[in-house]
Each structure stands twice: as structure tokens, then as C-alpha cells.
């Protein structure tokens, strides 16, 4: 503003002296455009020497600060004082980071910013005292809809529309006990109302929850509406248009997608390698790629998480007084003994540890202390909705059901709309 005022006075004096009026080009050349400062993460980047990069595999917090002229005793002090806010031992390769350094000949780092994801970042400021703060960017939730007619697979149909694979996973979870996604029929249809998160109104931060879904499988409609019936534990679930819960107490498989059953429960199995002798197989093998997440098929508590003999690395979960499950041959375990897990939580990853000829998870199922075939069990459904909640639920889903019913399928068999 000060520069603009000086220029304005200069032009007035020029005119007052009786000289010819300055040309437009002279005035334009005299005006210097005012540049707004670059402010990110709460700092004016114009005041610093800025280094922006991503963590390399094996690269450490200490190496980054050392490279930016911070001495190791200071690095150790910083790492120790901020460990409750940011454990620098667990920084992940591929994550973006920013170093703000002095804008002088030393170029010594003053601030380290670690981006956990698009939404969250931690600022470590050691320019004066040492402080670490985790910050969450403001998120705008936009409701969107999508629809399609399946010609090959659900994932391919969604991929053709540029939709996230997260939606495929969410739908397979919602309808895990209602629709077999490995037996999708030609011309099966779907419609969904879902949330997408945005930063600064334009930068997508990923898919949120599916609020409602409609799936037409073999000509039969299946509705699903998200609703919190358990107000004490604030657990959301999906219910149909008649208040029936879609979830069963147990999922059918410990892997959500991209698997095949390579060996079933068989007490009379004969193996040529052992002289064609009977060696009972008391599990169900789900073959999948190494590293595929393995999930808990029901809520429970981890009773074992260890490595032992032919089982390799495994996890065992007690669900109640009747049922327990076990998951064998993991490449890595993700839970420890004593932890409480919920249905769908990742408990490990597919591997080949122990006695196995290929990557898979051997899923074992106990009922009243005896191993049984999980695929032949008539497993109980989750708790039904309470009677006094049903009128509230039916009123709550009116608008979103109207939105679902209003989505039409276009001539080219797919449609995406955003509201």
C-alpha cells in the first residue's frame, strides 16, 4: 500500500508541474504488482529457505535434520521431547515432508512438517523452544451419487466411471451376507449415495461413508441404509427398508476381495505327498496374494498371536462362549494377545509361513470347543433393531431413499451425479 501511495503522489506532482500527461504505458511500467505472501501450514514461506521432499526408504528424521545443518545433540533432544506427539522412529517412506530453514548463509532448519495424509500433518517447531502440534485441515463433505449396470464386475464398472476402489470394498462389506460378488449376474444394477471429502473446496481427500445403497441382484432389490442404532457405543450399521440388519455375526470370509477357496474343510482328505494317507484338513484355505489384509470375521478378543510350527504366524480370536476363529500362515501379524478387535479390523496379512505350498490364509472355526466347517454353519445374525427405534429409523431414511429411487440409469448403462 505504501508503494501505491508514493506512486500516486508522484503522478500528481508530474501533472501539477504542467508537463504533458504521462502515457498509459509509462504508468503501467511504473506500477509493480503486489505479490501476496505464500502462507502454508501457518508459516510465511517467503521468510524461509524451503525444502520439500518425500521420505525415502530407510531415511530417518535425524538424517533429514543433519542434512539441513542441525547438530545431532539437538536432533536427539527434539526427538525425545516430541515423542508423545510424533514418534520419529515410525515415519513412513513415501510421506511428504517440509523443512523451513533460516534464510541466511547457515540455512539451518527451524521447522519440520510431516504430512500423515492429505488431511493431517504435524508441525515440529524448534526455532526457539521445541513444540510439536498435530493439525487437521478443515474438511468439506459433499454428498454424491453414482449408478451403473454391471456387465463384467462391480470393480470394473466403478473403475470405468473413475470411482475409487474404496467404494467397491465398502459395497462388498455392506452386502457381505446378502450378495455374493463373485456370482454377479449380467445386468445387475447398483445405485449409491456416498460422501466425498474435500480440502479447500477443490482437493479431494478421499471417499467417506456410503450413506445408502440399492443393489438389484438377479432382479431382486436390496436396500441398505446407514444408521446408528447402538447409541451407547455409537456403532453404525446398515439396515434394509424394513429395519432388518444386513450384517451377520460372522463374515463369510477373512479376506474382503480378490481371493479364491483353494482347499475346503475335509476330514477325509488324502495327500499323495504323505503316501495317500488320510490327513484331515480342519480349515478352509483362502488363497490370495502375499500382503493381502486378513480381517476378523467377528468382534472378539485376541487370545493368541504368535508363530508356531506348521501354523506359521497366526492369530486366534475368542468371540464369545461358543465361537472362536484362527487365521494361519500370515506374513505379518497386526494385533497382539489381549487386544479387542471388531468385525472387519485388519489382524494380519497373507503369507506363506509354516507348512504351506502357496500364499493363503487357513481359516479355522471352533464351535463349543470343536473345529467345524464355517461354510456349513447356520450363523446367527447381529442384534436386531429395537422396536422403539424403528419409527425413528423409517423417518430418518425417507429423504435418502427418495434420492436413491430418483436416480435413473442412462442409456449407456451408467450415470454419475453430484449434488
CATH assignment of the domain containing 282: 2.70.70.10
166 and 240 together in one domain: yes
Q: Has residue 148 been placed in a domain?
A: yes
CA distance 195 to 185: 27
C-alpha angle 200-203-204 in degrees, rounded to nearest 5: 125
E-assigned strands of 253-397?
260-263, 270-271, 277-278, 284-287, 293-295, 300-308, 312-318, 323-333, 340-341, 346-350, 360-367, 370-372
Give 376 or 255, the one with higher predicted confidence.
255
The pLDDT value given to residue 150: 86
Are the C-beta atoms of 347 and 317 separated by less than 8 Å?
Answer: yes
What is the tens place of the pLDDT at every residue in 65-94?
999 999 999 999 999 999 999 999 999 999
114 and 19 assigned to the same domain: no
Same structural domain, 298 and 372: yes
pLDDT of residue 274: 52
Same domain, 163 and 103: no
Distance from C-alpha of 402 to C-alpha of 387, rounded to nearest angstrom: 23
The average pLDDT across 41-56 equals 95
The string of pLDDT tens digits covering residues 263-284 is 887 766 655 545 556 567 788 8
Greater pLDDT, 14 or 157: 157
- With respect to residue 391, please indicate whether it lies within any of the assigned structural domains: no
**Residue tagged 446407514 (cell numbers):** 226
Q: Is the pLDDT of residue 394 over 90?
A: yes
- For residues 209 and 276, membership in a common domain is answered with no
Inside any domain, residue 392:
no
The verdict on residue 183 lying in a domain is: yes
Average of pLDDT values for 234-258?
84
Domain residues for the domain of 96 are 39-136
Would residue 385 count as lying in a domain?
A: no
CATH number of the domain at 199, please: 3.10.450.350
Which residues, in sequence order, are bridge partners of residue 131?
A: 125
Give the DSSP H/E element, type plus range, for residue 144: strand 140-149
The CA distance from 50 to 107, in Å, is 9
What are 180-235's pLDDT values in tens digits?
Answer: 676 677 788 899 999 998 987 788 888 888 999 999 887 888 999 999 887 666 77
Which whole number is the average pLDDT over 305-321? 92
Across the beta sheet with 120-125, the strand order is 49-54, 96-101, 109-115, 120-125, 131-136
Q: Is residue 293 part of a domain?
A: yes
Name the band, by pLDDT with cuts 50, 70 and 90, for residue 176.
confident
**pLDDT given at position 6:** 47
How many percent of the chain have pLDDT more than 90? 48
Residues 45 and 80 in one domain: yes
SS3 41: coil
Distances from the Cα of 404 to the Cα of 145, 210, 352, angstroms:
8, 12, 44
Rounded Cα–Cα distance for residues 363 and 373 (Å): 10
- Over range 34-49, report the average pLDDT: 87
* Shared-domain flag, residues 59 and 18: no
Parallel/antiparallel/unpaired status of strands 284-287 and 260-263: antiparallel
Q: Alpha-carbon distance 253 to 408, whole Å?
A: 33
Tally of domains in the chain: 4
| pTM for the predicted model, two decimal places | 0.54
Residues 306, 363 within the same domain: yes
Residues 202 and 306 in one domain: no
Confidence tier at 24 by pLDDT (50, 70, 90): low
List b or e across 46-61, with b for residues whose CB sees 16 or more CB atoms inside 10 angstroms. eebbbbeeebeeeeeb
Task: Provide the percentage of residues in the chain whose pLDDT is more than 70.
Answer: 84
Q: What is the per-residue pLDDT for 214?
A: 95
pLDDT value of residue 380: 66
Are 71 and 56 in a shared domain? yes
- For residue 388, being part of any structural domain is answered with no
Instruction: Burial-class residue 148 by CB neighbours within 10 Å (0-12, 13-18, 19+).
Output: buried
Q: What is the bridge-based pairing of β-strands 96-101 and 300-308? A: unpaired
360 φ, ψ (degrees, to nearest 5): -170, 170
Higher pLDDT, 106 or 30: 106
Last residue of a domain, one of 136, 165, 193: 136
Name the pLDDT band for 172 (thresholds 50, 70, 90).
Answer: confident
Q: Are 140 and 91 in contact (CB under 8 A)?
A: no
Residue with cell 504351506: 356
Instruction: Say whether pLDDT at 409 is over 90.
Output: no
Beta bridge partners of 191: 147, 214
304 and 412 both lie in a single domain: no
pLDDT score of 349 more than 90: yes
Check whether residue 50 and residue 146 sit in a common domain: no
As a whole number, the mean pLDDT across the chain is 83
Amino acid at each position: 500500500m505504501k508503494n501505491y501511495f508514493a506512486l500516486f503522489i508522484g503522478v500528481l506532482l508530474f501533472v501539477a508541474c504542467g508537463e504533458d500527461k504521462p502515457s498509459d504505458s509509462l504508468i503501467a511500467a511504473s506500477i509493480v504488482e503486489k505479490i501476496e505472501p505464500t502462507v502454508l501450514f501457518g508459516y510465511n514461506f517467503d521468510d524461509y529457505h524451503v525444502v520439500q521432499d518425500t521420505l525415502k526408504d530407510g531415511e530417518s528424521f535425524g538424517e533429514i535434520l543433519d542434512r539441513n545443518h542441525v547438530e545431532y545433540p539437538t536432533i536427539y533432544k527434539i526427538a525425545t521431547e516430541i515423542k508423545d506427539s510424533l514418534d520419529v522412529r515410525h515415519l513412513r517412506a513415501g510421506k511428504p515432508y517440509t523443512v523451513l530453514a533460516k534464510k541466511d548463509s547457515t540455512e539451518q532448519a527451524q521447522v519440520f512438517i510431516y504430512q500423515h495424509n492429505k488431511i493431517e500433518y504435524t508441525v515440529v517447531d524448534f526455532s526457539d523452544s521445541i513444540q510439536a502440534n498435530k493439525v487437521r485441515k478443515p474438511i468439506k463433505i459433499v454428498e454424491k451419487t453414482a449408478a451403473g449396470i454391471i456387465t463384467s464386475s462391480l470393480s470394473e464398472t466403478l473403475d470405468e466411471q473413475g470411482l475409487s476402489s474404496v467404494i467397491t470394498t465398502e459395497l462388498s462389506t455392506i452386502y457381505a451376507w446378502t450378495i455374493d460378488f463373485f456370482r454377479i449376474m449380467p445386468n445387475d444394477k447398483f445405485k449409491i449415495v456416498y460422501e466425498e471429502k474435500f480440502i479447500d473446496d477443490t482437493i479431494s481427500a478421499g471417499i467417506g461413508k456410503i450413506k445408502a445403497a440399492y443393489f438389484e441382484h438377479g432382479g431382486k432389490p436390496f436396500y441398505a441404509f446407514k444408521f446408528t442404532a447402538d447409541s451407547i457405543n455409537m456403532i453404525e450399521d446398515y439396515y434394509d427398508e424394513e429395519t432388518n440388519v444386513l450384517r451377520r455375526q460372522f463374515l463369510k470370509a477373512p479376506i474382503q476381495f480378490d481371493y479364491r477357496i483353494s482347499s475346503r474343510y475335509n476330514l477325509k482328505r488324502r495327500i499323495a505327498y504323505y503316501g495317500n494317507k488320510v490327513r484331515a484338513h480342519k480349515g478352509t484355505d483362502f488363497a490370495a496374494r502375499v500382503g493381502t489384509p486378513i480381517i476378523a470375521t467377528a468382534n472378539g478378543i485376541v487370545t493368541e498371536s504368535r508363530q508356531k510350527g506348521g501354523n506359521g504366524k497366526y492369530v486366534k480370536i475368542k468371540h464369545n462362549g461358543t465361537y472362536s476363529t484362527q487365521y494361519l500362515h500370515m506374513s505379518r501379524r497386526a494385533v497382539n494377545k489381549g487386544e479387542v478387535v471388531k468385525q472387519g479390523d485388519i489382524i494380519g496379512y497373507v503369507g506363506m509361513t509354516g507348512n504351506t505350498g502357496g500364499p493363503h490364509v487357513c481359516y479355522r472355526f471352533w464351535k463349543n470347543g470343536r473345529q467345524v466347517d464355517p461354510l456349513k454353519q447356520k450363523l446367527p445374525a447381529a442384534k436386531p433393531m429395537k422396536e422403539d427405534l424403528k419409527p425413528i429409523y423409517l423417518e430418518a431414511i425417507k429423504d435418502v431413499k427418495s434420492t436413491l429411487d430418483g436416480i435413473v440409469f442412462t442409456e449407456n448403462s451408467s450415470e454419475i451425479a453430484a449434488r
